[in-house]
Amino acid sequence: MRNSTKKILGVTICILLALFCGLAPLVKKGASGKSYVANAQGFGGNIEVTVYVDGDTITDITYEAPDETPSVGGVAMSNLKTQIIEEQNSNVDVIAGATYSSTGFLEAVNAALNEAGVVADGSNGTKTVAEDYEGTADIVVIGGGGAGMTAAISAAEEGKSVILLEKNSILGGNTARASSGMNAAETHYEEEQGVEDSVQSFIDDTMASGKNMNDPELVKVLAENTSGAIDWLDSEGIELNGPLATMGGLSANRTHRPVDADGNIIPVGSYLVDKLSARMDELGIEVHTNTAATEIIMEDGKAAGVKATGSSGNNVTIHADAVIVATGGFGGNMDKVTEYRPDLEGYISTNVTTASGDAIDFLGDLNADFVDLDQIQLHPTVVPTDGTLVGEALRGDGAILVNKEGHRFFNETGTRDEVSAAEIEQPTGNVWLIVNQDMYEGSAVISKLEKGGYLVNGDTLDDLAKAMEFDADATAALKETVETWSGYVASGVDEDFGREIGAVKTDLSSGPYYAVNVGPGIHHCMGGVKINTSAEVIDTDGNPIEGLYACGEVTGGIHGANRLGGNAVADIVVYGRIAAESAIEYIDK
């Protein structure tokens, strides 16, 4: 099997609870020389690594990581293991999209090697140089995030051969980091949970949030197809059957969320990536990771394939009857961000680094049109130290935001641009998001934040204020703020900021309490390549480019000046399916 070419393998990780919680390695006798055990913190919890050495050679690495997402952190650790053993070098780069899992894994590996006295610098290893590759398929998909995987699966299920190219070494893209849910209207889940909603309300909310800069036809198609998208996900075994939530700017509880086996709410992104990648494996879809598209092949004015570059500089050429571009936005490329928005210089980003905007260049070469490239969203609840995203649904469920003086300062469920602007006006620019034990017990999202070391906590509000380093005045204000908020929840009216109380699940009147420091961070690019309602890429003359389609964050026009939380997942599923359907119709005509 080629180093840079593989079919997605089903990843089944059977793991035990880690036995050791420190970094101090344990030396054991191994089948080949000795083995050394070390531990480090990953994304979800402890990673225990065992490194086997024979003299100065690393012969094997095993690991136990029960809290890492199999399709993201699990695949990243597997890839790093292979690379380290092959190159005999532990000084390798972390994998974009799985930064915390990668960092923890490498930290543990290096701790074990340090105890072994082995310097793994690559001096006695090899590095495989992949060969050039040329392939053919009915459809080639560029990008292995949620939109690309949805498109690839939809096409393969209709009997089309599909090759997918992914720049990163793992699938998922920014979808893997999606934290809250998927907006959809008039679904069977809404009916089952007694939620009154409509397609028109979805349209109205989306247009209002986007300041009416959205393309109304694209929004209409999005809204009309969300219920069908939920049904399609159901048919794929991807159930968003948790308690419906309200995100900022929504007029109904239409955010659909997954739950784990215990009924706890879990992040939608990693759940989707796990399920979609497993389905790609079942369908036998050919995937080339570490492969960056550089050019759309054109023949007689029609898209006819893709040229790309592999990780070792090898050429990858795919000939196809149709091309679907799903490369995501450019929020991980600060040079491009500041090119269109110089005022965002210095902000941290929630994006994977491979969300770099390559398609702006290779689609621009085809005279494709672009819209709203300067519309870049700040998400208001981002950990300022590393860009970790704190899900918006927590605020919908009842979390509040307070400044360093202990006061609420805005409607927490306002639109992202509004809440971010209000935060920037606060004394420090960063604020505290507060939840309590009631919310903790129903949310795997909060427990992951705790395992990641992002939370401070206290049994009482006095204890919490001390952990947040509040002075006496701020502590008194915090206690008054929570008491006032609890009264608003009881009365059903937020007299300070007009926040909708109906979806709130706790009044925060009792502890223990937890808080995370957050602020605005670069999150989503509303602008991108122009498409029509069939997901065809439009050129600067207003005409579709034959055989070329796009879906997901790489496109512009759907979200206008501000995207609603929950609409990105709706976008990738709806327009991922539409892109595939349109490409199939084009091929078959």
pLDDT at 21: 36
Where residue 15 falls among pLDDT bands split at 50, 70, 90?
very low
- For residue 147, which of 538, 539, 448, 528 has the smallest C-alpha distance? 528
pLDDT at 559: 98
* Secondary structure of residue 358 in the 3-state scheme: helix
Mean pLDDT of the 434-462 span:
92
Where residue 277 falls among pLDDT bands split at 50, 70, 90?
very high
- Taking a C-beta distance cutoff of 8 angstroms, is the pair 411, 392 a contact? no
pLDDT at 129: 64
250 or 100, higher pLDDT: 250
- 2 has a pLDDT exceeding 50: no
Assigned CATH for 140-324+335-375+526-588: 3.50.50.60
- 174 has a pLDDT exceeding 50: yes
pLDDT at 25: 43
Q: How is residue 385 written in tokens?
A: 């130290």
Residue 524 phi, psi (nearest 5)? -145, 140
pLDDT at 128: 61
Question: Is there a shared CATH topology between the 6-116 domain and the 379-521 domain?
Answer: no
Assigned CATH for 379-521: 3.90.700.10
Question: Which CATH number, 3.40.190, 3.90.1010, 2.40.50, 1.10.357, labels domain 6-116?
Answer: 3.90.1010
* Sequence ranges of the domains in the chain: 6-116, 140-324+335-375+526-588, 379-521
Which of these is catalytic: 177, 254, 395, 416? 416
Q: What is the largest CA-CA distance in the chain?
A: 73
pLDDT tens for 538-578 read 999 999 999 999 999 999 999 999 999 999 999 999 999 99
pLDDT at 440: 93
Where residue 124 falls among pLDDT bands split at 50, 70, 90?
low
Where residue 3 falls among pLDDT bands split at 50, 70, 90?
very low
- 5 has a pLDDT exceeding 70: no
Rounded to the nearest integer, the mean pLDDT of the chain is 92
Q: What is the dihedral of CA 543, 303, 575, 136, to 10 degrees?
A: 170
pLDDT at 429: 86
In single-letter form, the type of residue at position 479 comes to K
Dist. CA 356–CA 360, nearest whole Å: 9
Where residue 33 falls among pLDDT bands split at 50, 70, 90?
low
- Cα–Cα distances (Å) from 572 to 68, 93, 403, 438, 541, in that order, read 24, 29, 35, 32, 26
- 30 has a pLDDT exceeding 50: no
pTM of the full predicted structure? 0.85
Q: How is residue 526 written in tokens?
A: 């509303």
> Tokens 């070390």 correspond to what residue?
38
Q: How is residue 268 written in tokens?
A: 């939608």
pLDDT tens for 383-403 read 999 999 998 889 989 999 999
Non-local (6+) Cβ contacts of 38 within 8 A are 23, 24, 25, 26, 48, 49, 51, 108, 109, 111, 112, 115
- 6 has a pLDDT exceeding 50: no
Left (φ > 0), alpha (ψ -120 to 50) or beta: where does 145 sit? beta
pLDDT at 32: 47
- For the chain, give the number of residues: 589
Mean pLDDT of the 361-370 span:
98
Where residue 10 falls among pLDDT bands split at 50, 70, 90?
very low
pLDDT at 280: 96
pLDDT tens for 180-218 read 899 999 999 999 999 999 999 999 999 999 999 999 999
pLDDT at 8: 39
Q: State yes or no: is 577 an active-site residue.
A: no
- Percent of the chain with pLDDT strictly greater than 90: 78
Mean pLDDT of the 492-497 span:
96
Non-local (6+) Cβ contacts of 73 within 8 A are 42, 43, 44, 65, 98, 100, 101, 102
pLDDT tens for 403-413 read 999 999 999 99
pLDDT at 392: 86
